[in-house]
Structure 1
Amino acid sequence: MIDTDALLTWYSAAARDLPWRRPGVSGWQILISEIMLQQTPVVRVEPIWREWVARWPVPSAMAAANQGEVLRAWGKLGYPRRALRLHECARVLAADHGDVVPADVDVLLGLPGIGAYTARAVACFAYGQRVPVVDTNVRRVVARAVHGRAEAGNPAARDLAETESLLPRDVERACGVSAALMELGALVCTARTPGCDRCPLPACAWVSAGRPPSDVVRRTQKYDGTDRQARGRLLDVLRGASGPVERVALDLAWPRDPGQRARALDSLLVDGLVEQTRDGLFALAGEAGSDHDG
């Protein structure tokens, strides 16, 4: 088990002052933060999040924008399909949910682009519900502190029930523990260089076992020269354009491998991030038939 009293005491003193954790932040704004934070560091998310909540404080405001505006505002956060899913979600929230993000996990799961983690994170952090919120950080903390393993391994159905069993019965404390577990994994019980000397937990099965090494083989993910980088370069051209562009502008953005460039462009079209006009020009989603002026 995990000493939740010690964990909460540490969290009250050590938690980062993140804007989406402050009083008065709406469920919609917390939803935006959760989508942005997927596979993206806080330092990159925070300035973009601030811009988004100022520009689109409620779902209907985003729903009124076109897809291209949303993609352009997403900038270089990466994985831009997340932006399109948020835009689609905003339209459903505006049309069917009174411009409010629902609090029920099952209803949240029915929204476009909302998966199990995001639904529970919103229910917990926006509405104070006692639900397990399990991300990579939480799984790692539980694997080490409870099971004595360096790594959590692949996600499993048991993760939710196991994490829920660690939550106090008191709802407010349970929400605090959910946030504190995530913060502990992000700041102290990190993947590569855990700060065990700074850990607030009085007992950890992994430390007690002598910190046995992981048997997971880590594969370094390169970015330079990948299809993902090529896609990003093509999107950069379209985000910076005042309207649809000719194919040659995209060719110049990724000259190193024509075959890879063609593959990247095709995937952007398939994903709905890019559209082609009737006369063969290319534009961000929602802008193929517009006279966007920047």
Structure 2
Amino acid sequence: MSARGMASRAAMSGGGGSAFPVAVVVLGILAVWYVAAVALNSAWALDQAGRDGVTLSARELVADTWSQERPRLPAPHQVAVELWNTTVAMPVTSKRSLIYHAWITLSATLAGFVLGTGLGILLAVGIVHDRTTNASVMPWVIASQTVPILAIAPMIIVVLASVGVAGLLPKALISMYLSFFPVVVGMVKGFRSPETMLLDQMRTWNASPAQTFWKLRWPAALPYLFASLKVAVAASLVGAIIGELPTGAVAGLGARMLTGSYYGQTVQIWSALMMASILAATLVGLIGLAERLTARAMGGRA
């Protein structure tokens, strides 16, 4: 076999090898999910059958637990059908479309993510370059994350509403609150990652602090930046959803979950959760793509 054929075969086998464990994990999660649906929904099915004087066989019990209108835990196929009906089979402009609600949440997520990333980088620059900032700001940055977001979110919304600020900005600020912390921690680590020998070399070349920052510290911090951004964007999405809960919002994934909880529509709640997961995975994937493109542009291994 030629070298090219061997390389192609190795690449194909490598791709299949990486996909197989993922498939096994997904199938395992689905199996556990289906079993849990039977366990949690069987009590209601047996109670209804007892009232009707009917004895359910094992097969009938399983079928009933996987098809209830308001189950305690919906089966995976029920969530998949609801996702299909509220995305592909529903006009995007409809208030029942999950794409419509996802866009409302995404707008707050991206606004908070941009604000949190900018704030995190600025704080990291100050912490690394100024000892006073390091001693005074860093403890407060860490302490800020000890306060539960569920306690802060209503306060932010009420205070801003009292001065006439509502809509996107309060949710964006809550998202920023959650997303700036991983950026601060990651970038401080990244800016401090260059070895002392390299910093001494820059001093030998009489480089200014700005030149040292842009030519040495910033390139060294890029891997830490992208790793932090992946965590920050997921946290920002969580913040946007939490920001929708105490406001009585009528649009957004958080509002969709809240409405489902009011009326016991667990399938609606789970479909909104799955949509949020898909949205988070997409955002993290886009950051990963930007990371690979940046590495390739800088001559690294993409």
Scaled to the shorter chain, the TM-score interval is under 0.3
TM-score by length of 2: 0.25
Query: Higher Cα Rg: structure 1 or 2?
Result: 2
What is the TM-score of this pair, normalised by structure 1?
A: 0.26
